[in-house]
Amino acid sequence: MSIDELIQNWDGEYVAARYERPAEAWIFIAVHSTRLGHAVGGTRMKVYDAPEEGLRDAQRLAEGMTYKWAGIDFGLGGGKAVIALSRPLDEAERDRLLERHGALIESMGGAFSTGADLGVGPELVDVIRRNTRYALGHSAGDPGPYTSLGVLSGCRAVAAEVFGSRDLAGRTVLIQGAGDVGVPLSRRLVEAGAQLKLADIDPARAWDLAAQYGAEVVAAEEVYDEPCDIFAPCAVGGVLNEQTIARLSCRAVCGAANNQLESDADAERLHARGILYAPDFIANAGGAIALPGLELMGMSEEEVIASIESIEGTLGEIFQEARQNDESPLSAAMRRAGRVLERGPVAR
């Protein structure tokens, strides 16, 4: 589909698109739903084969943010920015582009606030912030450690459901992606007594991290076949699909990546194989709670931690509802988010 068709056929509220000639890049800001509040979501930047793919990514990620906020009943709306590069940029070009992205966000007057995402670490959020007040991450800094706390809480909920105990001691967790979330998650899991297995497309990253924790390294292409209790995708999306799900040798999936399922049907495939799936938009909500919590809503660090740790209880309720209905946890989580969207915002 062409860019205009993709925009017109989308069920979200609007898309702002801007072509930046100097960098030969497109900026897409997709706002899916402001039913619960103004739109907040990260900015992703990477090279795409075609701008349409970047737009599609922005739309799917924005939708994911709507469900993320609604699923944890946080009064914000779903939006996301994607900077679709046509080629790698040098540092000066990249900064110039991010500055212009900041100016674009500022011109929206607060309708959309952003922060870090894939390809845009906290140091690049600082570049965006040169031109806008609506970039989160200055005091909270890196969302990765917060996201990893939420994933750890998710793993406890998964263990309780699958093994009857939230204790992670002796459980094997396979982390895909030794990055912003994978690194702090490794530490938390080891502290919780879990056995670690690590994979990364850059083997050196996996080996470095594994050396720190005495973990096992798994080759990136073998990650789907590797036996483990919990598989934690913490890198790119779309890793759970018809092909990979058939190979999985785990009891559950709980990780930080956005849009882990290639399509919603993959949740049914996991369910049919008896693999418990922690819906990504709930399991990875930790970073999303921390940034606006600390910087927009005036929550204290303690309140933020407590809110992130409540992901365990939220997932527990979702698993229970799914079990009672013999359905995938994705269906239960979508219904839960749907109830919150139906109800609408609550006065705070």
Give the footprint of ligand PHE on this chain (CB under 6 A). 40-42, 114-117, 136, 143, 258, 284, 287-288, 291
Cβ neighbours around 250 below 10 Å, total:
22
The Cα 254–Cα 266 span in angstroms is 14
The Cα 293–Cα 48 span in angstroms is 32
Q: How far is the CB of 187 from ligand PHE (least distance, A)?
A: 19
* Residues identified as active-site: 80
CA distances to 151, 157, 230, 328 from 279, rounded to whole Å, are 11, 12, 14, 9
Closer by beta carbon to ligand PHE, 136 or else 245 = 136
The Cα 238–Cα 236 span in angstroms is 7
Closer by beta carbon to ligand PHE, 190 or else 296 = 296
Do residues 34 and 250 lie in contact, with contact meaning Cβ atoms separated by under 8 Å?
no
Q: How far is the CB of 258 from ligand PHE (least distance, A)?
A: 5
Helix or strand or coil: residue 66?
A: helix
Mark residue 232 as left, alpha or beta (left: phi above 0; alpha: psi -120 to 50; beta: remaining): beta
Closer by beta carbon to ligand PHE, 116 or else 175 = 116
Q: How far is the CB of 115 from ligand PHE (least distance, A)?
A: 3
Q: List, in sequence order, the alpha helices (H) in the chain.
A: 3-8, 51-71, 91-107, 122-129, 144-163, 182-191, 203-213, 242-247, 265-272, 280-283, 286-295, 301-309, 311-325, 329-343
Q: How far is the CB of 233 from ligand PHE (least distance, A)?
A: 14
The Cα 280–Cα 330 span in angstroms is 9
Q: How far is the CB of 242 from ligand PHE (least distance, A)?
A: 25
Closer by beta carbon to ligand PHE, 145 or else 217 = 145
CA of residue 90 relative to chain centroid, distance: 27
The Cα 200–Cα 152 span in angstroms is 19
In this structure, what are the phi and psi dihedrals at residue 297, rounded to the nearest 5 degrees?
-105, 0
Closer by beta carbon to ligand PHE, 39 or else 322 = 39
Closer by beta carbon to ligand PHE, 114 or else 186 = 114
Q: How far is the CB of 223 from ligand PHE (least distance, A)?
A: 22
